[in-house]
Amino acid sequence: MESLGESVPDYVRPALWCVNLENLNLERDASVIIFQVLNFGSHAACQWLISRYDRSRIQDLIRGSVASSWDSKSLNLWSLVFDVYPIKQNRECI
């Protein structure tokens, strides 16, 4: 199992503020990592992310997410970069 602490640069860690870094796994927790870095990461962190994960994996995450869970400026940027937009606009309430 690949430990986050051994493979993520220090400049990416601030974007992962909401998770326990000691227990995070790059493959198992890819959705959280991708979402957090695209929303809160620096330019360098986003470059690392794009080099680490396949374009299709990032596109699938954006497509399968809820638009209202994103920072609107981040979503606008990454939707243009990856040519994809979330299917759902808002969370469904019961």
Q: What does the alpha-carbon distance between residue 3 and residue 20 come to, in Å, rounded to a whole number?
A: 12
Provide the pLDDT for residue 93.
54
Task: Please give the span between the terminal C-alpha atoms of the chain, in angstroms, as a whole number.
Answer: 38
Q: What does the alpha-carbon distance between residue 37 and residue 19 come to, in Å, rounded to a whole number?
A: 12
Asked whether the predicted pLDDT for residue 91 surpasses 80, the reply is no
| pTM given for the model | 0.85
Provide the pLDDT for residue 72.
93
Question: Where are the chain's structural domains?
Answer: 4-82
Provide the pLDDT for residue 24.
85
User: Which pLDDT tens digit goes with each residue over 5-58?
Assistant: 558 899 999 999 988 888 889 999 999 999 999 999 999 999 999 999 999 999
User: Which pLDDT tens digit goes with each residue over 43-90?
Assistant: 999 999 999 999 999 999 999 999 999 999 999 999 999 999 998 776
Provide the pLDDT for residue 48.
97
Residue 50's nearest CA partner among 12, 87, 10, 17 is 12
